[in-house]
Amino acid sequence: MANGDQFRELIEAYALGALDPQERGSVEAHLAAGCADCAKAVDEARWLVSQLAFLAPDAKPSDMLRGRLLQTVRAEAHAAESAKPAAVIPFWMWGALAALLLFTIYTSWETIQVRKTIDATNEQAKQEIAKRHELAEELTIAQRAAIILTDPRSVKIPMPAGSKDMPKLDAMWHAEMGIVVTGQNVPMPAGNRTLQLWLIPKTPGAKPMPSMMVRPDADGKFMLLVANPPDNMESTKALAITEEPAGGSQAPTTRPIWVGATS
């Protein structure tokens, strides 16, 4: 396209996922209209970001790229603080961020040493990504839970207790891998009774959907994994946990002890 293509200056930020929805929409429309220059620029920007770790120290990313990257991460940190499910950072970007931070910390000599480590880490990350997408069914419970708890794409759902005597729980929901709920200092339910998780649908009048059961260990800790949630997060209003008779229930028989809204 001719000089003065107004979209070119947005391309780096677009490749970083750093544009607001309106800007992103206009860039996508422009790309869909077939601007070859901008399409090439997107590829170059993505390549640059993914390769930051391997660039010579004097080939640092532009101030704009650096600024946009940090801006996006700050937005992400802010979103995490306010517990809103606004995480939009693509998975590959975290490696780029780590590399960028290394550039600001290490001298060029040290960078060479560090680069070897990053190399190995990237290889591991590649294998991990392959696993996530292709072998998700073969993951152990612990592996699956670890991914759900650490992947930036997971959405954190705080689950405060209705009673002051009960600790606050946290749930993490990953669109592909499932839900993990963790608790500490949780009192043991009496007798053989159990804690049971429920998904409360957004649809008005819809019944809570029964999910997994768990009992805390002797230290009051538990981790509950739902590998195949009965519904997705978009159509779920809240997670709730009740105490139920051994074996669980098809509908809650007590008031929820914990409730966490999904948004």
Rounded to whole angstroms, the Cα distance separating 201 from 235 reads 6
Is 13 a binding residue for Zn ion by CB under 5 A? The answer is no
**Shortest spacing between CB 214 and Zn ion, in angstroms:** 53
Q: Looking at the chain, how many residues does it have?
A: 263
Residue 98 DSSP one-character state:
H
Using an 8 Å Cβ cutoff, are 171 and 181 in contact?
A: yes
Rounded to whole angstroms, the Cα distance separating 111 from 52 reads 12
Nearer to Zn ion, 38 or 52 (CB): 38
Strand, helix or coil at 192? coil
**Shortest spacing between CB 35 and Zn ion, in angstroms:** 3
Nearer to Zn ion, 11 or 259 (CB): 11
Among residues 238, 55, 67, the alpha carbon closest in space to that of 157 is found at 238
Among residues 237, 213, 209, 242, the alpha carbon closest in space to that of 225 is found at 213
**Shortest spacing between CB 38 and Zn ion, in angstroms:** 3
Nearer to Zn ion, 48 or 136 (CB): 48
Is 5 a binding residue for Zn ion by CB under 5 A? The answer is yes
Nearer to Zn ion, 35 or 65 (CB): 35
**Shortest spacing between CB 30 and Zn ion, in angstroms:** 6
Element (H, E) at 159: strand 155-159
Is 15 a binding residue for Zn ion by CB under 5 A? The answer is no
Stretch that binds Zn ion, among 7-15, 144-152, 159-167, 192-200 (CB under 5 A): 7-15
Residue count at the site for Zn ion (CB under 5 A)?
A: 5
Rounded to whole angstroms, the Cα distance separating 223 from 225 reads 7
Nearer to Zn ion, 9 or 119 (CB): 9
Site for Zn ion in 17-56 (CB under 5 A): 35, 38
Rounded to whole angstroms, the Cα distance separating 233 from 239 reads 10
Stretch that binds Zn ion, among 4-12, 77-85, 137-145, 180-188 (CB under 5 A): 4-12
Using an 8 Å Cβ cutoff, are 144 and 177 in contact?
A: yes
Among residues 150, 118, 129, 21, the alpha carbon closest in space to that of 75 is found at 21
Nearer to Zn ion, 7 or 173 (CB): 7
Nearer to Zn ion, 9 or 123 (CB): 9
Rounded to whole angstroms, the Cα distance separating 167 from 161 reads 7
**Shortest spacing between CB 3 and Zn ion, in angstroms:** 11
**Shortest spacing between CB 10 and Zn ion, in angstroms:** 9
* Residue ranges in contact with Zn ion by CB under 5 A: 1, 5, 7, 35, 38
